[in-house]
Copies of this chain bind each other. A is one copy, B any other.
Amino acid sequence: MSKSYRVAILGATGAVGTELIQLLESRSFPVAELKLLASARSAGSQLLFKGENITVEAVDEQSFNQVDIVLASAGGETSKRWAAKAVEAGAVFIDNSSAFRMDAQVPLIVPEVNPEAAASHQGIIANPNCTTILMAVAIWPLYQVQPIRRIVVSTYQSASGAGARAMEEMITQAQAILQGKTPPTEIFPYPLAFNLFPHNSPLDESGYCQEELKMVNETRKIFGVEELRISATCVRVPVLRAHSEAINLEFDQPFDVAKAREVLSQAPGVELREDWKANYFPMPIDATGRDPVLVGRIRQDISHRCGLELWLSGDQVRKGAALNAVQIAELLVANNLLRSSLVASH
């Protein structure tokens, strides 16, 4: 007997929300019923799931009754407001916001890295930050062969990381600039089209921005290595979708490049993309709409005998957000970790 589950998507009309709907369908997630939730402003619109139009409902106190899994992607404030209600109603709340990620009671999961953390959930599971997920998938297989001592990473983050409206704004900016007009800046603080700027999340007194500190703190939590040394520089670039990262790794001992390539060619969630003759490596346009994190340009760091350099591109909306959340849901199903499943089958 195969079970199916009542799923709610909170933030259904956003970039990640619409991707969640598509992934539940394309991955044949056992959905008994799909509830699409959003703010009152977005309620009433219809979205297609398995050939059927589903009307988006305004989230309210009753929304989570009879729901097994909530996939939330409506921002930290919305998650903080509704997570406890969903848990109270018996659902598992898989949250794509940063609200609960560093909460010691909340597992922070990349299924390719720490699936075992799901077992200890108490109703809420956090989906990590997008750049963190992409890096974790790419470097964890190497970490398992030999501990990483230090990471220095620079990111190339697309407009999609700031949501669907940000992507539209960048297109509008590009059109304006090509017509010799002043580009509008409503979502982004500065023009992004044909420009770039350090990630504009709030700055810590250390001088690092929140996005960078997420990469530091979340990677440590996911790997379960509190002392892992990480420095990040996060940069927004005029790419529509898919993030890229230049990652410098320091190990305790030299890590053979051929071995790294072999490990990554077999790693779950990773696709090795290296054509040295054609000078072809991962690019955002090739990662867009795809599940795996594309990794390439693996080379011995010429500045450090225990160093490796690598480069990746991964779809921020997909593996960086929606896909990882759906994989967590799949993990819960496969391991019988839904709360409602402890009570009854339906």
Q: Which residues of A contact B (CB under 8 A)?
A: 150-152, 154, 156, 171, 174-175, 178, 189-191, 194-198, 200, 202-203, 206-209, 216, 229-231, 233, 235, 237-240, 244, 246, 248, 257, 276, 279-281, 283-285, 297-304, 307, 309, 311
Given known A-B contacts A189-B279, A237-B238, A285-B195, A304 and B231 have beta carbons under 8 A apart: yes
9 A–B contacts, CB within 8 A, in A order: A154-B154, A174-B194, A190-B285, A198-B311, A206-B300, A206-B302, A207-B300, A208-B299, A233-B311
10 nearest CB pairs, A to B: A207-B299, A154-B154, A229-B303, A231-B303, A233-B246, A154-B246, A195-B285, A197-B283, A231-B301, A152-B248
Interchain nearest-CB distance for A256 vs B (Å): 13
Which residues of B are found within 8 Å of A284, using beta-carbon distances? Answer: 195-196
Docked complex Cα distance between A84 and B144 (Å): 56
Tell whether, in the assembled complex, residue A202 and residue B279 are in contact, meaning their CB atoms are under 8 Å apart: yes
Docked complex Cα distance between A281 and B234 (Å): 13
Which residues of B are found within 8 Å of A194, using beta-carbon distances? Answer: 174, 238-240, 285
Which residues of B are found within 8 Å of A230, using beta-carbon distances? Answer: 302-303
Interchain nearest-CB distance for A177 vs B (Å): 9
Docked complex Cα distance between A240 and B290 (Å): 28
Knowing that A152-B248, A194-B240, A238-B239 touch, tell me 4 more A-B residue pairs with CB under 8 angstroms: A156-B235, A207-B257, A216-B302, A231-B304
Tell whether, in the assembled complex, residue A151 and residue B303 are in contact, meaning their CB atoms are under 8 Å apart: yes
> Which listed residue (B196, B246, B280) contacts A239, Cβ 8 A?
B196
Which residues of B are found within 8 Å of A311, using beta-carbon distances? Answer: 198, 233
Docked complex Cα distance between A189 and B138 (Å): 26
Which residues of B are found within 8 Å of A238, using beta-carbon distances? Answer: 194, 237-239
Which residues of B are found within 8 Å of A298, using beta-carbon distances? Answer: 207
Interchain nearest-CB distance for A260 vs B (Å): 11
Tell whether, in the assembled complex, residue B279 and residue A203 are in contact, meaning their CB atoms are under 8 Å apart: yes
Interchain nearest-CB distance for A31 vs B (Å): 33
Which residues of B are found within 8 Å of A299, using beta-carbon distances? Answer: 206-208
Looking at A207, A235, A297, A311, the one whose CB has the most chain B CB atoms below 10 A away is A207
